[in-house]
Structure 1
Amino acid sequence: MMQNEWGTRVRSLVEPAPIATDTYQGTHFEGFASRIFGGQTIAQALMAASLAEDQGKLAHSLHACFLRAGDPGKPVHYQVTDLVAGRSFANRQVIARQEGQPILVMLAGFHRGESGRSHQIAMRTMMVPEQAVERLAAWRATADERGRLLTERLDGRPMAIVPIDPDALFGAQPQPPQSAWWMRMRHPVGADGALQRGLLAYASDIMLLRNAMLPHGVRPFTPGVQSASLDHAIWFHDTPDMDDWLLFETDSPWAGGARGLSRGHFFTTAGRLVATVTQESLMRMPGRT
């Protein structure tokens, strides 16, 4: 695939097209289990809100609630409403609808860049991307059919995903509720700050909810398990570069009542924290409490 064709394909995944004032339409949806991948809806809603920005501000946060499962074979319309438009900050509401029914509602905050005092947590992972790639290749060579199918599914994503511990992440044995993986676009996109945020929003929903399942010896798509994202929040601390490796370190502090909470941090290879993510998910497991 030529570079310009790749860039067009990536944009179609995360950037909806304007069709009227403050209204955008998304198509080319990825179907998974007969529903739209949640990360794609989040990314398109964020990009719709970003396309409405004409004062140079970039998204600093989003808070989204999934209302209905989307049909990947039908377009989604995004209606953007300006709530506040100040000198430093702006806030917008985005409602995603399919055939007139809302499937997602989002509040997105925008901020004009400023300087200020800073601190951050340190990443805990010491395995560099090249080491993780070698470990994943070795694991795939000996994995069972189920493990190979899970990793092959990731090969279809527009970004490379390399788990630090694939056996713990994809296996069926109970594990501590934390994991990590390196991610980057398969081919450079060279996108601006708004689109790079959209790409990170897309990536932030990949495999995140399985953290809450790890201690219970189940994974998404285990027979009898129902799982889905319920709500999702992101704070952008800086502009990410999805063309380079980013480490997504994740964990789950709690699960109960058929729900699980997962969270994660995106780091650059140099250890700089660029985004924080939280998500609550449905986690129904028959015979479990």
Structure 2
Amino acid sequence: MTEDGVARGQGVLDRLVELLDLERIEDDIYRGVSPEHSSVRVFGGQVAGQALVAAGRTVPAERGVHSLHAYFIRGGDPSVPIVYEVDRIRDGRSFTTRRVVAVQHGKAIFALSASFQSVESGIDHAEGMPEVPDPETLPTHAERMTPDLRAKFGDWADRPRPIDVRYVSEPPWLSRETGPRDARNQVWMRTDGKLADDPLLHVCVLAYASDMTLLDAVLARHGVYWGTDKVMGASLDHAMWFHRPFRADEWILYDCASPSASGGRGLATGRFFTRDGTLVATVVQEGLLRVVG
């Protein structure tokens, strides 16, 4: 805690870990909550991370998640708990498949399918990481927030964040002042503190963080941004593939691009690289994006 009573650094990260530590209420049924200070809807990364925790709790620890595919069905209500119902689809000799439905007010708000695999050896190759500055050379979020930006964004500007995000490309709330740019967004990210040595926790934290800046790549192409323009947006679906081990409390480059936008929807892809250039995960998401006026 700081003098103002607000959790920072490890404290706010510990709150995220508590958020992901679901309550077991029955066989294959779990309950999660939202942070006290939430937006109008539950953050998509939160429900994805919690659903993956629920799935992982029903799988042997030696089988790691290698992919997930999810649909955001309804906006979540942050004022009430979310119930996660796990369906044990298959337990094979090498792979385990789980389906999770998140429910609020008796209706599904989110559905996830996840596949887990025993460790195997085989062919191995990966694309290289783009050349980018080191994360320590880039400003923190707090350092980016000028008095004018704090006045514009209000509480969002100084809200405690469990993920330390350093923009390589110009942040969208700055680049919009100079007009459209390439449909690309690059950030370094890591948790603002240390995590326990639990591989599933690191995967779930990365799933949480993957929804944070991905659609910015779509908006950057058109020179608009959340909060400063009349943009209506929401995640529609989300897919991730986990290629190699990593730690979410060490620097990871999130390299995002947008190949297309049409029909009120925008598509974005993301690649996660560890600091030594290892490709550890790939993300694809489509989002609802309506720009009014």
* Residue of structure 1 in register with 2:4 after alignment: none
Tell me, in whole angstroms, the C-alpha distance in 1 between the residues paired with 2:158 and 2:241: 25
Tell me, in whole angstroms, the C-alpha distance in 1 between the residues paired with 2:123 and 2:137: 34
Query: Are 2:95 and 1:109 aligned?
Result: no
**Given that residues 68 and 104 in structure 1 are in contact (C-alpha distance below 8 angstroms), is that contact kept between their aligned partners in structure 2?**
yes
* Residue of structure 1 in register with 2:243 after alignment: 237
Query: Are 2:101 and 1:88 aligned?
Result: no
**Given that residues 15 and 48 in structure 1 are in contact (C-alpha distance below 8 angstroms), is that contact kept between their aligned partners in structure 2?**
no
* Residue of structure 2 in register with 1:261 after alignment: 267
**Given that residues 12 and 161 in structure 2 are in contact (C-alpha distance below 8 angstroms), is that contact kept between their aligned partners in structure 1?**
no
Q: How many matched pairs?
A: 285
Query: Which residue among 283, 286, 291 is the counterpart of 1:277?
Result: 283
The change in CA–CA distance for 1:275 and 1:155 in structure 2 (over 3 A counts) is farther
What is the CA distance between 1:140 and its match in structure 2?
A: 4.2
Runs (5+) with no aligned partner, structure 2: 2-6
The change in CA–CA distance for 1:60 and 1:150 in structure 2 (over 3 A counts) is farther
Query: Are 2:61 and 1:61 aligned?
Result: no
**Given that residues 44 and 235 in structure 2 are in contact (C-alpha distance below 8 angstroms), is that contact kept between their aligned partners in structure 1?**
yes
Q: Determine helix, strand or coil for the equivalent of 1:44.
A: helix
Give the AA of the match of 2:56: S
Q: Determine helix, strand or coil for the equivalent of 1:77.
A: strand
Which of 255-264 and 278-287 deviates more? 278-287
Identity percentage of aligned residues: 38
Query: Are 2:230 and 1:219 aligned?
Result: no
Q: Determine helix, strand or coil for the equivalent of 1:242.
A: coil
What is the CA distance between 1:151 and its match in structure 2?
A: 10
What is the CA distance between 1:216 and its match in structure 2?
A: 1.1
Cα-Cα RMSD: 2.5
The change in CA–CA distance for 1:5 and 1:130 in structure 2 (over 3 A counts) is closer
Q: Determine helix, strand or coil for the equivalent of 2:238.
A: strand
Tell me, in whole angstroms, the C-alpha distance in 1 between the residues paired with 2:69 and 2:156: 31
* Residue of structure 1 in register with 2:166 after alignment: 162
Length-normalised TM-score, structure 2:
0.89
**Given that residues 147 and 170 in structure 1 are in contact (C-alpha distance below 8 angstroms), is that contact kept between their aligned partners in structure 2?**
no
**Within-5 A mapping of 1:1-289:** 1=1, 8-29=14-35, 32-54=38-60, 56-133=62-139, 139-140=144-145, 144-145=148-149, 149=153, 153=157, 156-168=160-172, 170-172=174-176, 173-287=179-293
Q: Deviations over 1:239-272 (max 9, x none)?
A: 2201111110000000011000001011111000
Runs (5+) with no aligned partner, structure 1: none
Tell me, in whole angstroms, the C-alpha distance in 1 between the residues paired with 2:27 and 2:139: 45
**Given that residues 13 and 191 in structure 2 are in contact (C-alpha distance below 8 angstroms), is that contact kept between their aligned partners in structure 1?**
no
**Given that residues 200 and 240 in structure 1 are in contact (C-alpha distance below 8 angstroms), is that contact kept between their aligned partners in structure 2?**
no
Q: Deviations over 1:70-113 (max 9, x none)?
A: 01110000000011111110111000001211000000000011
Q: Determine helix, strand or coil for the equivalent of 2:217.
A: helix
Length-normalised TM-score, structure 1:
0.90
Tell me, in whole angstroms, the C-alpha distance in 1 between the residues paired with 2:166 and 2:13: 22
Q: Determine helix, strand or coil for the equivalent of 1:117.
A: coil
